[in-house]
């Protein structure tokens, strides 16, 4: 299956409009987990996404404390498809599984990620979080060194502000930004998206379905029954009064999607992709069935009238 692609920032990476996000497949038993996950289901989900034409996988060292990268590496070894592989650094952990933020260990992190992913170079290496803020320059200089050494092909940032990107750009170009962006979280629209467009920085947004809230399959009962190691139990968007409002938004998106025989989640993803500054969206999948449900977002396009209809709904339901 051939999908439309868009070049990411200043790179030579032509990305399908959605990529496979590997956060949830890190499994449970860590601070930002999505609850227990079967590795075989994860491998099947990645294989299904690649079979359907998705050409990039996004993970991070911290997802499952190394486990997500291992699963991605295993899946790619067992596939004839060779997608771009993206990962992230800056969240490190110790023997007690305690996570700390550091930009001083990036070189070691990169070496360990290469081993877990079983690749010779990382196509896009990203600083996961700009913490500690005072280490940004040192960390970004290390990232630039990794490019010169061939361990990394392109470098990007995630969750950075405009001011933080400006500081990094004085040291080396930024290929991409990875921010959260969905109908529920639109904070990047005011300053960050215009800045990236102006400076040719590609944007790959994460959580376009707000961690499952806008898929059309989330319910109050399901949210109440999350396992104790699912980070969403404590997320404000999954708690009242926000939960009811967000589920009504998902219901509205489902009604709009029904006109085209696509899910609420596909509409939610397509809405983010309708923004000119967005290169592509990261879409998680915990099973081949879930992947089948969201892959239509790679080709589905909302009409201008439908985008206006959604925006009017968002304005009238703040």
Q: Tell me what the mean pLDDT of segment 33-45 comes to.
A: 89
Beta-carbon neighbour count of residue 94 at 10 Å?
9
Per the listing, tokens 């060194």 go with 145
The pLDDT assigned to 151 comes to: 98
The pLDDT assigned to 149 comes to: 98
The pLDDT assigned to 29 comes to: 78
Query: Does residue 60 register a pLDDT over 80?
Result: yes
pLDDT-based confidence at 190, cuts 50/70/90?
very high
Q: Tell me what the mean pLDDT of segment 70-90 comes to.
A: 97
Tokens of 268: 């939610």
pLDDT in tens, 300-312: 999 999 999 999 9
User: What is the 3 state secondary structure string of the chain?
Assistant: CCCCEEECCCCCCEEECEEEECCHHHCCCCCCCECCCCHHHHHHHHHHHHHCCCCEEECCCCCCCCHHHHHHHHHHHCCCCCCEEEEEECEEECCCCCEEECCCCHHHHHHHHHHHHCCCCEEEEEECCCCCHHHHHHHHHHHHHHHHCCCEEEEEEECCCHHHHHHHHCCCCCCEEECECCCCCCCCCCCHHHHHHHCCCEEEEECCCCCCCCCCCCCHHHHHCCCCCEHHHHCHHHCCCHHHHHHHHHHHHHHHHHCCCCCHHHHHHHHHHCCCCCCEEEEECCCHHHHHHHHHHHCCCCCHHHHHHHHHHHHHCC
Q: Tell me what the mean pLDDT of segment 237-257 comes to.
A: 90
The pLDDT assigned to 237 comes to: 78
Q: Choose, from 63, 84, 125, 206, the residue flagged as catalytic.
A: 63
Q: Tell me what the mean pLDDT of segment 45-70 comes to.
A: 97
The pLDDT assigned to 35 comes to: 77
- Average pLDDT value over all residues in the chain: 94
pLDDT in tens, 168-187: 999 999 999 999 999 999 99
The pLDDT assigned to 141 comes to: 98
Measured over the CA atoms of residue 86, residue 90, residue 96 and residue 98, the dihedral's sign is negative
For residues 4 and 2, give the distance between their C-alpha atoms in angstroms, rounded to a whole number: 7
The pLDDT assigned to 155 comes to: 98
Q: Tell me what the mean pLDDT of segment 185-202 comes to.
A: 97
For residues 106 and 112, give the distance between their C-alpha atoms in angstroms, rounded to a whole number: 10
Q: Tell me what the mean pLDDT of segment 292-307 comes to.
A: 94
Query: Does residue 236 register a pLDDT over 70?
Result: yes
How many CA atoms lie less than 13 Å away from 37 in the CB half-sphere? Answer: 29
pLDDT-based confidence at 232, cuts 50/70/90?
confident
Q: Is 63 a catalytic residue?
A: yes
The pLDDT assigned to 218 comes to: 74
pLDDT in tens, 145-173: 999 999 999 999 999 999 999 999 999 99
pLDDT in tens, 3-16: 999 999 999 999 99
Q: Which of 5-9, 25-29, 210-214: highest mean pLDDT? A: 5-9
96, 106, 150, 277, 300 from 114: Cα distances, Å:
23, 12, 12, 30, 34
Q: Tell me what the mean pLDDT of segment 256-269 comes to.
A: 96
Query: Does residue 1 register a pLDDT over 70?
Result: no
What are 87's strand-pairing partners? 125
Phi, psi at residue 111, to the nearest 5°?
-60, -45
Domain boundaries defined on the chain: 5-316
Q: Which CATH architecture has domain 5-316?
A: Alpha-Beta Barrel (3.20)
Q: Which of 18-32, 71-85, 208-222: highest mean pLDDT? A: 71-85
């Amino acid at each position: 299956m051939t999908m439309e692609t868009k070049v990411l920032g200043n790179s030579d990476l032509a990305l399908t409009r959605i990529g496979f996000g590997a956060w949830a497949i890190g499994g449970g038993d860590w601070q930002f987990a999505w609850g227990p996950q079967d590795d075989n289901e994860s491998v099947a989900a990645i294989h299904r996404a690649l079979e359907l034409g998705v050409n990039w996988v996004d993970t991070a060292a911290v997802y499952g404390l190394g486990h997500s990268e291992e699963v991605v590496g295993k899946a790619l070894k067992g596939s004839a498809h060779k997608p771009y592989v993206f990962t992230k650094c800056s969240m490190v952990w110790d023997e007690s599984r305690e996570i700390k933020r550091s930009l001083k260990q990036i070189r070691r992190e990169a070496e360990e990620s290469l081993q877990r992913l079983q690749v010779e170079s990382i196509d896009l290496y990203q600083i996961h979080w700009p913490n500690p803020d005072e280490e940004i320059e040192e960390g970004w200089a290390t990232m630039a060194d990794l490019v010169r050494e061939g361990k990394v092909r392109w470098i990007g940032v995630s969750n950075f502000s405009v001011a933080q990107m400006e500081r990094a750009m004085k040291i080396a170009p930024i290929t991409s930004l990875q921010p959260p962006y969905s109908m529920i979280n639109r904070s990047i629209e005011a300053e960050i998206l215009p800045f990236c467009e102006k400076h040719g920085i590609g944007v790959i947004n994460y959580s376009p379905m707000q961690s499952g809230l806008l898929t059309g399959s989330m319910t109050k009962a399901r949210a109440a029954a999350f396992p104790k190691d699912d980070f969403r139990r404590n997320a404000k968007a999954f708690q009242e009064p926000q939960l009811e409002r967000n589920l009504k938004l998902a219901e509205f998106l489902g009604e709009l999607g029904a006109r085209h025989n696509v899910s609420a989640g596909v509409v939610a993803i397509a809405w983010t992709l309708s923004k000119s500054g967005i290169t592509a969206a990261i879409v998680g999948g915990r099973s081949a069935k879930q992947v089948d449900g969201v892959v239509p977002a790679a080709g589905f396009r909302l009409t201008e009238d439908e985008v206006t209809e959604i925006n009017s709904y968002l304005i009238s339901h703040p």
